[in-house]
Amino acid sequence: MAYLHTLDEVDVKDKRILLRVDLNLPMENGRVSDATRIERILPTIQELSKKGGKVILLAHFGRPKGRRLEEDSLRQILPALEQYLNRTVTFADDCVGRSAATVVDTLQSGEVALLENTRFHKEEEENDASFIAELAKNGDVFVNDAFSAAHRAHASTEGLAHVLPAYAGRSMQAELEALNEALLNPQRPVIAIVGGAKVSTKLDLLGNLVRKTQYLVIAGGMANTFLSAQGVNVGKSLCEYELAPTARDVLAKATAANCKIILPIDVVVTKKFEAHAPSSIVSVDKIDADDMVLDVGPKSIAQVEAILQNCKTLVWNGPFGAFELPPFDQGTKLIAQSAAQLTLAGKLRSIAGGGDTVAALSQAGAAEQFSYVSTAGGAFLEWLEGRTLPGVAALEK
Ligand code: AMP
């Protein structure tokens, strides 16, 4: 990467490497229920270990806000980490102080250690200078492989990069390469799909995307706000009526930027927000006063699929409907599968991200075929908004 320091530039042999990773994993009954984030960091850990570095993992878990909470201990991640790495990982009860120093001082070249949750110290989120200095005592080099935490200027995501030689890990590098290829220098036409529940959480993102893309598909509950702003009755659907002027503003900006906004032309409506509730397909001008829109209809799906055929790049965040409740998962599923096929055929570069999006694409069996699926939530959204992420900026040349 021309603009970032990467592992290609550093000799890590016998050095203590503070490696910031994302181990904020979903848990069920005390066990890791999805280890994707571990899989993503394996190449960096293995490379550093193979090159003879002493690998010291730093990570946060949950939101303990400076308290030592047993339920937020990284110790519970240790078995899964050891299993995926296929090696023993030494654990330190604290990320600073004597227990961290003892573990780090006895670590041999090539070995791996995990330090306890950085957020057990409130100074982590405050990006406190003396806490950064305490962390830095255990490292010669800082490597950041946690893109998903890079939108936070915390001690272990940003501060350390200013006091130690700092490099992007392989997962961070891959993520940025994929994302930059999608919006910084993409193959055109570019289509963005933005779905999900609310416009209010994605306003800045829409403003940025109308300037960067040729087609912007607005889907999910958000589409109701846009339809309503254009005088369509959306019945009892999720709709942010107070945002009508904002929605009209986005539409005007899109016209000015030559970006075509695609809204649903038909929808799936129901009277109850529950799985398998009786439903029907209506055009958007036929939504009843007691109807709830929970998905897009077949004409809307065909409309998006036709545009996809002519596009070279797709950026996707947010589902087309209430995908957790079948049959309201169909729009998301069918469009995801079309995008997956175009990607497999080499006609489309497809990038998706955001928590619900990953779940929706996996449910559709399409995530594997996408060119890149980001596991980041907030960081992916901030990147879509066109913001500079502090954790990334700190690694720039
Ligand atoms: P977000 O986190 O903003 O990406 O929103 C994802 C959520 O939006 C999912 O839980 C979906 O069930 C929900 N959603 C999508 N479309 C609709 C809709 N038409 N009505 C209500 N919820 C929706």
Residue of 204, 227, 238 to mutate, ligand 1, most atoms within 8 A of C-beta: 238
What fold is seen in the domain 186-384? Rossmann fold (3.40.50)
Active site residue 66: no
pLDDT of residue 355: 75
pLDDT at 172: 97
The closest alpha carbon to 288, from 273, 274, 270, belongs to 270
Per the annotation, the verdict on 37 as an active-site residue is: yes
Intervals of the chain under pLDDT 50: none
Q: Give the C-alpha separation, 104 to 108, whole Å.
A: 9
Q: What is the DSSP string of 78-98?
A: HHHHHHHHTS-EEEES-SSHH
In DSSP terms, 31 is beta-bridged to: 28
Q: In sequence order, what are the beta bridge partners of 361?
A: none
Contacts of 135 (CB under 8 A, 6+ apart): 18, 58, 95, 96, 118, 155, 156, 159, 160
- Which of 61, 30, 58, 60 lies closest to 45, judged by CA? 58
CA 198 to the chain's CA centroid: 17
The model's pTM: 0.92
How confident is the model at residue 185, as a pLDDT?
A: 87
pLDDT tens for residues 6-16? 999 999 999 99
Note whether 7-172 and 186-384 share their fold: yes
Active site residue 355: yes
Quickly name the fold that domain 7-172 has.
Answer: Rossmann fold (3.40.50)
Among the listed residues 110, 235, 355, 386, the single catalytic one is: 355
pLDDT at 356: 85
Domain ranges of the chain: 7-172, 186-384
CA atoms within 13 Å, Cβ hemisphere of 244: 10
Ligand 1 pocket at CB < 6 A? 196-198, 201, 220-221, 238, 293-294, 318-319, 321-324, 354, 356
Contact of 337 with 365, CB cutoff 8 Å: yes
